[in-house]
């Protein structure tokens, strides 16, 4: 398995330092994965307590091994990240000092062929981040109505050949149900026009992304998780989100922007109490990795990082 390299690690450490340094603090890593960011944060802040969430039991096990040296400062929780509020309430916490999201499919999930995330290797069409629950990608392909499949490919994969692809999927599943990635990749290669294959990247990339998002409810989960995380931040607390595709980044951008603006009616000479901005944006737009990091870690090529600080409690 390839070595796990946390994306934009130094920048993540820099952004969290003012909220975590020199005192007891609590940070939620909402997508702990293999624990690279968390390990570095715990090492940098000896008084930090970490609550680490992941929906993937395999990831939690691996993260637990990596973070074991930090002892009882670490608590691992098997949960989807939209349950942040519940997880904190169960532990008697009303606020935390930091929340980190590193979204998308993890390097471990991509490296394990049997999980079915990677189109480059034949595997069962699973794609569940939590393999203990819910429908698989094969279930989606074999049972969804054609119109719903078209919507998923267009919305989640931004696939302009969705209609052609779904027509081929429906014809194929009537002959034999989908069960492995190799057959789907072959179908996509044939369905996407040759001109697009030459210029638009691998023809399976967008469909695999769309299926993964649908199987895991990723965008719906994120729409609930970001407001819950922002609500949990103490004044001075910080949130850092790493997204890897435009649909995720748009959700984060809109949630941050909403709380970073004043709600005082225009024209009034002073800010009304309880109507001021609740967040200060710490990044100008979305930050990207530089060429040197992308060369060391190709996964960093698509990252979009946004960060914000809570500057007052919600009214």
Known binding residues for S-adenosyl-L-methionine are 35-37, 54, 81, 102, 109
> In sequence order, what are the residues at sequence separation of 6 or more whose Cβ sits closer than 8 angstroms to the Cβ of residue 65?
none
Helix 162-175 vs helix 146-157: angle between axes, to the nearest 10 degrees?
Answer: 140
CA distance 33 to 151: 29
Residue ranges for the known binding site are 35-37, 54, 81, 102, 109
CA distance 155 to 148: 10
Measured in whole angstroms, the distance separating CA 304 from the mean position of its chain's CA atoms is 11
**What is the SS3 string spanning the chain?**
CCCCCCCCHHHHHHHHHHHHCCCCEEEEECCCCCCHHHHHHHHHCCCEEEEEEECCHHHHHHHHHHHHHHHHHEEEEECCHHHHHHHHHHCCCCCEEEEEEECCCCHHHHHCHHHCCCCCCCCECCCCCCCCCCCCHHHHHHHCCHHHHHHHHHHHHCCCCHHHHHHHHHHHHHHCCCCEHHHHHHHHHHHCCHHHHHHCCCCCHHHHHHHHHHHHCHHHHHHHHHHHHHHHEEEEEEEEEEECCHHHHHHHHHHHHHHHCCCCCCCCCCCCCCCCCCEEECCCCCECCCHHHHHHCHHHHHCEEEEEEECCCCC
């Amino acid at each position: 398995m390839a070595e796990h390299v946390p994306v934009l690690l130094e920048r993540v450490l820099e952004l969290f330092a003012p909220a975590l340094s020199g005192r007891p603090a609590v940070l939620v890593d909402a997508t702990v994965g293999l624990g690279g960011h968390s390990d570095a944060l715990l090492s940098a802040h000896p008084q930090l307590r970490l609550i680490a969430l992941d929906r993937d039991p395999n990831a939690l096990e691996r993260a637990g091994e990596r973070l074991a040296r930090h002892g009882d400062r670490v608590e691992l929780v098997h949960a989807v990240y939209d349950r942040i509020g519940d997880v904190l309430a169960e532990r008697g916490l009303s606020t935390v000092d930091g929340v980190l999201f590193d979204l998308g499919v993890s390097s471990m999930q991509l490296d394990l062929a049997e999980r079915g995330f990677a189109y480059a290797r034949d595997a069962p069409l699973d794609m569940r981040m939590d393999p203990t629950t819910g429908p698989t990608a094969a279930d989606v392909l074999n049972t969804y109505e054609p119109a719903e499949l078209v919507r998923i490919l267009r919305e989640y994969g931004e696939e302009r050949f969705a209609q052609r692809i779904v027509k081929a999927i429906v014809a194929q599943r009537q002959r034999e149900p989908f069960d492995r990635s190799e057959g789907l990749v072959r179908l996509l290669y044939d369905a996407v026009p040759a001109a697009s294959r030459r210029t638009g990247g691998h023809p399976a990339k967008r469909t695999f992304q769309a299926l993964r998002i649908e199987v895991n409810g990723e965008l719906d989960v994120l729409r609930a998780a970001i407001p819950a995380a922002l609500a949990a931040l103490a004044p001075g607390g910080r949130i850092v989100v790493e997204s890897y595709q435009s649909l995720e980044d748009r959700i984060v951008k809109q949630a941050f922007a909403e709380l970073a603006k004043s709600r005082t009616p225009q024209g009034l000479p002073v800010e009304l109490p309880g109507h001021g901005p609740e967040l200060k944006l710490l990044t100008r737009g979305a930050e990207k990795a530089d060429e040197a990091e992308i060369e060391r870690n190709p996964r960093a090529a698509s990252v979009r990082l946004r960060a914000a600080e809570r500057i007052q409690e919600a009214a």
